[in-house]
Amino acid sequence: MRVREMGAALVDLVLPADCAGCGAPEAPWCGRCAGWLGPPSVPWLPGGPEVVAAGRYTGPLRSALLRYKERGRRDLAGPLAEVLSPALDELTGGGVTWLVPAPSRSSAARARGGDHVARLCRTLAAGRGDVRVAAALRLTRRARDSVGLDAGQRAANLAGRLRVRPSALPPPGAYVVLVDDVVTTGATLRACRAALNGAGVAADVALVLCDATGGHIRS
């Protein structure tokens, strides 16, 4: 285990249990933050997979994601997975569901002590025999941070930079759900879907934690 990963694991052990959204001494969510979670939304994503989001990118859910993703709070994978679980249940329909995480840039994953979306998927699947994880996608080193890019720039940034790991693909005919933390323009989910489709894997639905799109068809 690398020193950075050992440090992140130690943080998981010593941080006190607190509210994922505001840090109040009440876990996993204080009463106030719990009241702000959800409801689920279904963003409209032309040309992309059907998307279900656990909630909008605002309030305690946004705060919890930022603490988890950018501030080293790996322990918040559990509370965030609990928020995602009902939306996942909406998408599962019998048989095994394969979660395919949208990949992070390798440099970003190293800085965060691991791929945060893949960790979220593993936490979602833990203890469930009907859910498995296939880390079948990766980004090349040429991909840059998408923060601040518009829809066209995000699509161009991913063009030719998303690769499939054939050995990690779900089995033929598997029911696949793409997973990401935030949907903004939909460029990442479209690119992931196209890459999997090119490898012969149908990926027509996606699950995200936060909806940051400009509009949604129901909430």
pLDDT at 140 over 80: no
Question: CB count, 10 Å around CB of 136?
Answer: 24
Question: CA-CA distance, 74 to 60, in Å (whole number)?
Answer: 16
pLDDT over 70 (residue 212): yes
Q: Is residue 52 part of a domain?
A: yes
Q: What is the CATH number of the domain that holds 117?
A: 3.40.50
- Report pLDDT digits (tens) over 155-189: 555 555 788 999 999 999 999 999 999 999 898 99
Is residue 219, in this structure, part of any structural domain at all?
Answer: no
Inside any domain, residue 56: yes
Max Cα–Cα distance, the chain, nearest Å: 48
Residue 108 or 126, more confident: 126
User: Is residue 218 in a domain?
Assistant: no
In a domain, 79, yes or no: yes
pLDDT of residue 21: 94
Query: 102 pLDDT exceeds 50?
Result: yes
Number of domains composing the chain: 1
Q: What is the pLDDT of residue 155?
A: 53
What pLDDT score does 161 carry? 74
pLDDT at 11: 45
Per-residue model confidence (pLDDT) at position 39: 87
pLDDT at 150: 52
**Does some domain include residue 97?**
yes
First and final C-alpha spacing in the chain = 42
pLDDT at 84: 95
Name which of 8, 14, 45, 23 is nearest 206 in CA terms.
45
pLDDT band at 90 (very low <50, low <70, confident <90, very high): confident
Question: 217 lies in a domain?
Answer: no
Q: pLDDT grade, residue 142 (50/70/90)?
A: low
Its pTM stands at 0.84
Give residue 198's domain range: 3-211
The answer to the question of residue 40 being in a domain is yes
Cα(133)–Cα(188) distance, integer angstroms = 18
Is residue 88's pLDDT more than 60? yes
Q: pLDDT at position 110, please?
A: 79
